[in-house]
Structure 1
Amino acid sequence: MAALKKSVLITGCSAGGIGAGLADVFREKGYHVFATLRNPSKLPSTLSKASNVTPLTLDVLSPDSIANAVSDVTRHTGGRLDILINNSGQNLIRPALDVSLDEGRKLFDLNFWAPLAMIQAFAPLLIEARGCVVNQSSAAAYVPMAFSSIYNSSKAALAMGSEIWRREFEPLGVRTITLITTSVKTPAFERIEKPHIHDSSYYFVIREYLERLADGRLQEGAPDARTYALKVLAEIERGATGEIWVGKDAGMNRFAVKWFPQMVFELILDGFLKASGELAKVGQVMKTRR
């Protein structure tokens, strides 16, 4: 009997994104790829036409959709899954005072609770295969970036959760990788909702600055999704576990986060984002109101 191909399920495989890049390199490597996304029409043709790719419609916020995906994978593999990559996620740039709590909860649902729901649902298949879970967190988890508190906090929750799950899954024979991703060149910023600041907001005076934060400038000089994906694949295949920093200047960013005093790190961050000057404008407006 021929040996079964190793299998990988990747969430969020829309064209141009990190998920599609990962799916492509796993496809080329000979894995059977379950490329999942909410809207199948957004799957790139390289994946939709490949013989070793099974596209699946999957909404990671829907328990029924997740259950259907488990059934589909089980039918194809006989009840095994070698690698689960929780890649789906979303950004949000907005002052905390201007974020509705429902909006914030929805982001946490997608960035934190959905990966756990996927892990719980696919655990029997992963344990059967002595497989690997890969959780897509972000360097944002470690960065006190003004106007990004909800997104950064959701990724911090995932980073911590993933590292705790790593310890819990180890005796079950399942390896866990936490991707701490820095900038990668993708259409992600084209897809996020631009921060529309109401004229009643304390931050209305810097609304143009807030809109520019969502224009993709943070991706300048970043590797493309394929380059990123090749690095991730190499880490998975070498048996890596725990936090793996990948993306633009990943090593330098990791060193700065781990070893620079917080004051120094925040000064470097401000040199890039120029947030202090913008916050000072808000302060000046507040003084005129007193």
Structure 2
Amino acid sequence: MAPARKSVLITGCSAGGIGAGLAEAFHQKGYHVFLTLRNLSKTPTDLGNAPNVTVLQLDVLSAESIATAVESVARETGGRLDILVNNSGQNLVMPALDTTLEDGRKLFDLNFFAPMAMMQAFIPLLIKARGCLVNQSSAAGCMAMPFLSMYNSSKAALIMASDIWRRELEPLGVRTVTLVTTSVKTPAFENVTMPRIPETSYYYVIRDYLYRLGGGQLQEGAPDPLTYGLGVVKAIEAGKVGEVWVGKDAGMNHWSWKLLPKSTFDSMLDGFLKVSGELAKVAEALKARK
């Protein structure tokens, strides 16, 4: 009897995004792909009706929606899931002083607590398959980038938690991979409404810089989602465990972060983001107020 086709569920698979690239990569490798997204109108057209692809509506912030997805997958796979990819997430470019606590909590709900909820819900299926949990984090979680404190902190929290889950799930036969992703060329920034900088903000003087920072400039020269996805699948099938750095200049970024003194790494980051000059403008504007 032929072996059962391996299965993977991926969250956040809107057309053009990282999730869609991952779905296409796994599909090319012969997996049964459970392609999930909150808004079904954003289903990738080339995968929506493809064989061995099941499209599910899934809101990772809804316990009821997650439970329904678990039931759907279990019915099709006999109660197994080989790989769960927690990919859903969102960015937020905003000075900490201008970020509402409500917005900060919403971001943590999506970027941190949703992966935890998905893990808890799908763990029986992963244990039965002796499967793999994959958490989508970001190199931003390792970098002190001004004006990204909520996003970077949520990803830093996920990196740490995912590494702890790696230890906790190991005796249950479940492997854990933490994707530390650098830049990937997607329309993600186009799909997010950039919060407006209030005129009362200390940073209003550099609002144009902040809007550009939130406009996707970090994606220049980055790989497309499918190229990225194929690299991820290769790492997973090779049996990687723990952190896997992937994306634009992933190797260079990893070793620079790991080996360079923090001050040197910050200087490199500043050279790319040109943030020191913008912060100087903020200081000058404050002096002018007095």
- TM-score for the superposition, normalised by structure 2: 0.99
Deviation readout 1:78-119 (Å, 9 max, x if unpaired): 100000000000000000010010000000000000000000
Residue 216 (structure 1) shift: 1.2
> Aligned pair 1:68/2:48, yes or no?
no
May I ask how many residue pairs the two structures share in their alignment?
A: 290
> Aligned pair 1:195/2:198, yes or no?
no
Q: Aligned partners of 1:246 and 1:192: how far apart in 2?
A: 23
What residue is the counterpart of 1:181 in the other structure? 181
Within 5 Å, give how 1:145-224 maps onto structure 2.
Answer: 145-224=145-224
What residue is the counterpart of 2:246 in the other structure? 246
Residue 46 (structure 1) shift: 1.5
Q: Aligned partners of 1:58 and 1:107: how far apart in 2?
A: 18
Within 5 Å, give how 1:115-134 maps onto structure 2.
Answer: 115-134=115-134
What residue is the counterpart of 2:273 in the other structure? 273
Q: Aligned partners of 1:96 and 1:32: how far apart in 2?
A: 42
1:17–1:187 Cα contact (<8 Å) kept: yes
Alignment identity in percent?
A: 68
Amino acid at match of 2:95: P
Query: Once superposed, which parts of structure 1, at least 4 consecutive aligned residues long, lie more than 6 Å away?
Result: none
- Aligned to 1:90, the other structure's residue is in SS state coil
Runs of 5+ in structure 1 lacking a partner?
Answer: none
What residue is the counterpart of 1:34 in the other structure? 34
- TM-score for the superposition, normalised by structure 1: 0.99
Residue 2 (structure 1) shift: 3.9
Q: Aligned partners of 2:222 and 2:89: how far apart in 1?
A: 19
What residue is the counterpart of 1:84 in the other structure? 84
What residue is the counterpart of 1:262 in the other structure? 262
Amino acid at match of 2:239: G
Residue 289 (structure 1) shift: 2.2
> Aligned pair 1:17/2:9, yes or no?
no
Q: Aligned partners of 1:180 and 1:269: how far apart in 2?
A: 17
Q: Aligned partners of 2:189 and 2:198: how far apart in 1?
A: 21
Residue 195 (structure 1) shift: 3.4
CA RMSD of aligned residues (A): 0.8
Residue 51 (structure 1) shift: 1.4
Residue 202 (structure 1) shift: 0.8
Runs of 5+ in structure 2 lacking a partner?
Answer: none
Q: Aligned partners of 1:236 and 1:285: how far apart in 2?
A: 50
Q: Aligned partners of 2:64 and 2:98: how far apart in 1?
A: 33
